[in-house]
């Protein structure tokens, strides 16, 4: 099951004893801060959780899945996430 922003706001509301609006504002501020940093190609490191960073992909040969035609994919940037060893250990204990 996927955890949505709305569900995250509900969790914040329960744990922080703040209004739903205030919790939604906190979450939006956090996400906007991460987005702004990544737009400026700055990594975002959250200790004990992981690191968001921008990776540069070179142009490469690809294939159109609908037609099967060969094509060249332009170079681009993608967001990558690398989880911390602490999070990885918790996930692997399950």
Q: Which two tokens stand for residue 5?
A: 């922003």
Residues of the chain with CATH 4.10.520.10: 1-40, 43-94
Q: Which two tokens stand for residue 88?
A: 């990885």
pLDDT over threshold 80, residue 77: yes
What's the burial of 34, exposed, middle or buried (CB within 10 Å: 0-12/13-18/19+)?
middle
- Which tens digit of pLDDT belongs to each residue from 23-75? 999 999 999 999 999 999 999 999 999 999 999 999 999 999 999 899 999 99
Which of 4, 85, 48, 80 has its CA nearest to residue 93? Answer: 85
* For range 68-94, the mean pLDDT: 93
CATH architecture designation of domain 1-40: Irregular (4.10)
CATH code given to domain 43-94: 4.10.520.10
Residue 84: its pLDDT value, please?
A: 96
User: What are the beta bridge partners of residue 46?
Assistant: 50
- Which tens digit of pLDDT belongs to each residue from 10-20? 999 999 999 99
């Amino acid at each position: 099951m996927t955890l949505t922003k709305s569900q995250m706001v509900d969790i914040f509301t329960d744990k922080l004893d703040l209004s739903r609006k205030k919790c939604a504002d906190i979450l939006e501020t956090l996400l906007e801060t991460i987005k702004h940093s990544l737009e400026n190609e700055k990594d975002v490191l959250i200790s004990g959780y992981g690191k968001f960073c921008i990776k540069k992909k070179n142009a490469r040969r690809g294939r159109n899945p609908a037609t099967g035609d060969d094509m060249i994919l332009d170079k681009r940037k993608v967001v990558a996430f690398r989880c911390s060893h602490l999070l990885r250990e918790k996930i692997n204990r399950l």
